[in-house]
């Protein structure tokens, strides 16, 4: 299987360390759920897993059918858009605070035991 190579003294083995370290992932902590590119699609995907949001989406779609239209189309969309926006802003702020905490933890100085 796979094994790990630890090179404790960088002074004499710097070239070997640089060659070997390219093969492995870093050990940074990442607890965030979103990136800038996937925030909107992933957040909407998660929000439409809730039954209430699907119900309001069903009402919006139903209201676009002229035979069934009960209210103005825009008025039916307001509750759904408001809830989706508020939850997206909340999720974004929570994820950003996680990002800041991860960045702070990843930049901490550590002590390494060496003989």
Considering the entire predicted model, what is its pTM?
0.69
Give tens-digit pLDDT for 8-59: 666 667 777 777 777 777 778 889 999 999 999 999 999 999 999 999 899 8
Whether residue 96 lies inside any domain: the answer is yes
Work out the average pLDDT over 62-75: 81
**What are 50-57's contacts with CB under 8 Å, separation 24+?**
52/83, 53/80, 53/83, 53/84, 56/80, 56/83
Q: Which residue range forms the structural domain that includes residue 60?
A: 31-107
The secondary structure element, H or E, covering residue 102 is: helix 73-106
Whether residue 25 lies inside any domain: the answer is no
Q: Which residue has the higher pLDDT, 14 or 105?
A: 105
Domain tally for the chain? 1
Whether residue 40 lies inside any domain: the answer is yes
Whether residue 39 lies inside any domain: the answer is yes
Q: How confident is the model at residue 75 (pLDDT cuts 50, 70, 90)?
A: confident
Whether residue 3 lies inside any domain: the answer is no
């Amino acid at each position: 299987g796979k094994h790990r190579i630890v090179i404790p003294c960088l002074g004499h083995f710097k070239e070997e360390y640089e060659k070997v370290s390219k093969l492995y992932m870093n050990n940074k902590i990442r607890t965030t759920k979103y990136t800038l590119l996937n925030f909107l699609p992933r957040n909407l995907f998660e929000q439409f897993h809730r039954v209430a949001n699907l119900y309001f989406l069903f009402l919006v779609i139903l209201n676009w059918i002229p035979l069934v239209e009960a209210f103005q189309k825009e008025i039916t969309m307001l509750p759904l858009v408001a809830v989706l926006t508020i939850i997206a802003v909340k999720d974004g702020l929570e994820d950003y605070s996680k990002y800041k905490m991860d960045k702070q933890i990843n930049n901490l100085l550590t002590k390494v035991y060496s003989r």
